[in-house]
Chains A and B, each alone.
Chain A
Amino acid sequence: MNFKAFVYVTLKQGYSDPEGETTSDALKGLGYNVSSVRSSKAYEVIFEAADRKKATSLVDEMCRRLLTNPTKDDYRVEISEL
Chain B
Amino acid sequence: MKRHDIKVLLMRAPGTNCDLEALRAFRDMGVQAELVQSQKVFKTKNLDDYNIIFFPGGFSYGDYVRSGAIWAKEMEYRIGKELKAFVEEGKPVIGVCNGFQVLVETGFLPGFKGKSIEPEAALGNSTHGYQCRWIRMKKVNKGSCQMLNSVEEGTILQTPVAHGEGRFILPPDKLEQHLKKLYDNDQMVFRYCREDGSPASGEWPINPNGALDDIAGICNPEGNVLGLMPHPERAYYGHLMPTWTSTGLNKYGDGYPFFDSVIKFTEKKF
Contacts and interface: CB of A to CB of B under 8 A. Distances in A.
B125 A18 contact: yes
A66 B70 contact: yes
B165 to A, nearest CB: 10
Interface in B73-129: 73, 105, 118-122, 124-129
B210 interface: yes
Interface stretch (B167-175, B184-192, B213-221, B241-249): B167-175
Nearest to B72: A66
B70 A70 contact: no
Interface of A: 11-12, 14-19, 22, 64-67, 69-72
A63 to B, nearest CB: 11
A17 B169 CA distance: 13
A15 B169 contact: yes
The B contact surface, by secondary structure, is loop
A66 B119 contact: no
Interface of B: 65-66, 69-70, 73, 105, 118-122, 124-129, 169-172, 210
Given A67-B65, A70-B119, A18 B127 contact: yes
Given A16-B210, A72-B124, 10 more contacts: A15-B172, A16-B127, A18-B125, A18-B126, A18-B127, A66-B65, A66-B73, A69-B69, A70-B118, A71-B120
Given A16-B210, A64-B118, A65-B73, A70 B171 contact: yes
B124 A15 contact: yes
B126 to A, nearest CB: 7
A64 to B, nearest CB: 6
A76 B43 CA distance: 36
A14 B128 contact: no
Contacts of B127: 16, 18
A71 B171 contact: yes
Contact of B169 (A18, A22, A67, A72): A72
A15 B124 CA distance: 9
Nearest to A12: B172
Interchain residue pairs A-B with the least CB separation, the first 4: A71-B122, A72-B122, A71-B171, A69-B122
5 contacts: A15-B172, A16-B127, A18-B125, A69-B118, A71-B120
